[in-house]
C-alpha cells in the first residue's frame, strides 16, 4: 500500500549530507554563519544590554544552537516527538527574545523554524508548525502588512522548494546506491561464473585422464605383484605415460582457452580425430566464429564422446560431423559399435551429464543414446 504523502517523512538520504556538492555545503555553512551573526548582532547591538543580560543572551544563543542541532538529528532519525519538543523550545525562545526586547533574533528564529519544519517534518505536522512560526513572525514584524504577508508566503514556498530539492537529491542518491549494489552483485556473479568455468575446465580436462592413468598404474601394480613379465608391465606404464602426456596437452589447451587463445574449432576436431583409429570429421555450413564458451563446449563434448568410444566401442568406425547453421551449431559423434576397450572402467561416469549441463547453461541441448548401429551423441548450441 502506498504511504500517505501527508504523514511520510523525507527520506534519510534527503535529510542527510550524502550527494551534496562541496559548493552547496559551503553555501549552507555560509547561511548558518550569517544567521548566527544576525543573532549575535541582534543580541548585543542594543545599548541597554549589559551585565547579566549579556550572559543571558550568550546562554540563549547557545541553547538555540544546541536545540537546532538536536532538531536536525532527531528529524534525520525520523523521531517525531523529540523533533516537536525541540522546535517548540525554539519557538518559545523566540517568544522570550521578543518579550526581552530582542526582536531581530526572535524574527530570525521564527523564520528558520517555519522553513525547517516544511523541509524536514511530515507535511501533516509541518503545516501547523510553519503556520504558528510565520504567524508569530507576521504579528511582531513592523513592516507594512502587504510586505509582511509576501515575506511569509515567500518563506513558506522557500521551505517547500527546499523539501522538494532534498527529496529529489535523496531519490538520486538511492538510485546511485542501488546502481552501485547492482554493479557489485554483477561483478560478484561474473567472478563466480568465471570460477565455475575454471573448475569445469579442470574437471573436464583432467578427470578422465587421471582416472585412466590410475587404471593403468593399478594394473601395473597387480602385474608386478603377480610376477608378470617385463613387457606386460612396461605396456601398462607406457599407456599411463601416454595418458599423462595427453592430459598435459589438454591442460595446456584449456589454459589457452581460458586466455582466449584457442585454435580454430575445425583444426581442433581434426587433431583429436587423428588420435582415434577409424574416425573421420566432416564440417558443413558456413564457418563462423563462435563465442568462447560455445566453442569450448563443442570441444569438450567431442573429447568426451571420443573418449567414450575408446572406452566402450574399441575398433568402431566413428563419424564426427560439425554443422554450422544460421542460429546454431550442431556436433554429431556417431560410432558403429565395437568391443569394450582398456579404459572401460576409467572415469566417473558423469562425463556426458556434465556436458549436458554445460550445453543447457548456454541454452542448448545434448542428446546421447544408442541407435541402430552403435552410439550417437548430438550437441546443439545456439550462436
User: Percent of the chain at pLDDT above 70?
Assistant: 80
Residue 250 lies in a domain: no
Distance from C-alpha of 260 to C-alpha of 258, rounded to nearest angstrom: 5
The confidence score (pLDDT) of residue 84 equals 92
Q: What is the mean pLDDT of residues 310-326?
A: 83
Residue 356 lies in a domain: yes
Beta strands in the chain (DSSP E): 279-284, 318-324, 328-335, 365-370, 375-382
Distance from C-alpha of 42 to C-alpha of 266, rounded to nearest angstrom: 90
Determine the angle formed by the axes of helices 145-225 and 292-312, rounding to 10 degrees: 20
**How high is the mean pLDDT of the chain?**
79
Backbone angles phi, psi at 164, to 5 degrees: -60, -40
Q: Which pLDDT tens digit goes with each residue over 237-294? A: 888 887 787 777 677 766 666 666 567 888 888 888 877 777 888 889 888 878 877 8
Q: Which pLDDT tens digit goes with each residue over 15-54? A: 777 666 667 667 666 776 776 666 566 555 554 555 566 6
Residue 232 lies in a domain: no
At residue 81, does pLDDT exceed 90?
yes
The confidence score (pLDDT) of residue 85 equals 93
Burial zone of 381 (CB within 10 Å; 0-12 exposed, 13-18 middle, 19+ buried): buried
Q: Which three cell numbers stand for residue 167?
A: 527529496
The confidence score (pLDDT) of residue 2 equals 45
What global pTM score does this model have? 0.49
pLDDT confidence tier of residue 6, bands split at 50, 70 and 90: confident
Max distance between CA atoms of the chain, in angstroms, equals: 123
The confidence score (pLDDT) of residue 217 equals 85
The confidence score (pLDDT) of residue 253 equals 66
Residue 147 lies in a domain: no
Q: Which pLDDT tens digit goes with each residue over 104-135? A: 778 888 888 888 898 888 999 999 999 998 89
Q: When comparing pLDDT for 340 and 5, which is higher?
A: 5
Residue 353 lies in a domain: yes
Q: When comparing pLDDT for 378 and 4, which is higher?
A: 378
Residue 215 lies in a domain: no
Q: What is the mean pLDDT of residues 77-86?
A: 92
Residue 175 lies in a domain: no
Query: Could you please report the per-residue DSSP string of 355-382?
Result: HHHHHHHTT-EEEEEE-SSSEEEEEEEE
79, 108, 142 - which closes a domain: 142
Q: What is the mean pLDDT of residues 316-322?
A: 88
Residue 208 lies in a domain: no
Look at the chain and report how many structural domains it folds into: 2
Q: Buried b / exposed e across 237-275, counting CB within 10 Å, b at 16+?
A: eebbeebbebbeebeebbeebeeeebeebeebbeebbee
* Best CA proximity match to 92, nearest among 60, 121, 56: 60
Name the residue range of residue 18's domain.
12-142
142, 157, 177 - which closes a domain: 142
Report the CATH number that the domain containing residue 343 is assigned in CATH.
Answer: 3.30.565.10
82, 116, 142 - which closes a domain: 142
Amino acid at each position: 500500500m502506498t504511504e500517505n504523502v501527508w504523514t511520510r517523512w523525507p527520506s534519510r538520504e534527503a535529510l542527510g549530507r550524502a550527494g551534496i556538492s562541496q559548493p552547496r555545503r559551503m553555501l549552507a555553512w555560509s547561511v548558518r554563519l550569517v544567521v548566527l551573526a544576525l543573532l549575535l548582532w541582534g543580541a548585543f547591538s542594543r545599548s541597554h544590554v549589559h551585565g547579566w543580560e549579556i550572559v543571558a543572551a550568550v546562554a540563549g544563543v547557545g541553547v538555540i544552537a544546541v536545540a537546532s542541532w538536536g532538531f536536525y538529528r532527531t528529524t534525520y532519525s525520523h523521531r517525531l516527538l523529540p523533533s516537536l519538543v525541540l522546535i517548540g523550545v525554539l519557538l518559545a525562545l523566540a517568544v522570550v527574545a521578543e518579550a526581552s526586547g530582542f526582536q531581530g533574533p526572535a524574527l530570525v528564529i521564527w523564520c528558520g523554524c517555519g522553513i525547517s519544519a516544511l523541509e524536514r517534518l511530515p507535511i501533516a505536522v509541518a503545516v501547523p508548525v510553519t503556520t504558528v512560526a510565520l504567524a508569530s513572525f507576521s504579528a511582531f514584524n513592523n513592516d507594512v502588512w502587504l510586505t509582511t504577508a509576501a515575506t511569509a508566503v515567500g518563506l513558506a514556498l522557500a521551505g517547500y522548494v527546499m523539501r522538494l530539492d532534498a527529496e529529489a537529491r535523496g531519490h538520486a542518491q538511492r538510485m546511485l546506491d542501488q546502481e552501485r549494489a547492482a554493479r557489485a552483485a554483477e561483478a560478484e556473479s561474473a567472478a563466480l561464473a568465471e570460477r565455475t568455468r575454471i573448475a569445469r575446465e579442470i574437471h573436464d580436462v583432467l578427470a578422465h585422464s587421471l582416472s585412466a592413468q590410475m587404471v593403468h598404474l593399478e594394473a601395473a601394480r597387480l602385474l608386478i605383484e603377480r610376477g608378470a613379465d617385463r613387457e606386460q608391465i612396461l605396456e601398462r606404464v607406457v599407456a599411463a605415460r601416454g595418458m599423462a602426456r595427453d592430459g598435459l596437452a589438454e591442460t595446456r589447451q584449456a589454459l589457452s582457452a581460458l586466455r582466449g587463445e584457442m585454435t580454430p574449432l575445425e583444426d581442433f576436431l581434426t587433431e583429436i580425430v587423428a588420435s582415434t583409429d577409424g574416425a573421420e570429421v566432416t564440417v558443413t555450413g558456413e564457418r563462423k566464429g563462435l563465442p568462447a564458451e560455445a566453442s569450448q563446449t563443442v570441444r569438450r563434448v567431442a573429447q568426451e564422446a571420443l573418449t567414450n568410444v575408446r572406452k566402450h566401442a574399441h575398433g568402431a568406425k566413428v563419424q564426427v560431423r560439425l554443422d554450422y547453421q544460421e542460429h546454431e551449431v550442431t556436433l554429431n559423434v556417431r560410432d558403429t559399435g565395437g568391443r569394450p576397450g582398456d579404459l572401460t572402467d576409467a572415469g566417473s561416469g558423469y562425463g556426458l551429464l556434465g556436458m549436458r549441463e554445460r550445453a543447457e547453461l548456454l541454452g542448448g541441448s545434448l542428446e546421447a543414446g544408442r541407435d541402430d548401429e552403435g552410439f550417437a551423441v548430438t550437441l546443439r548450441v545456439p550462436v
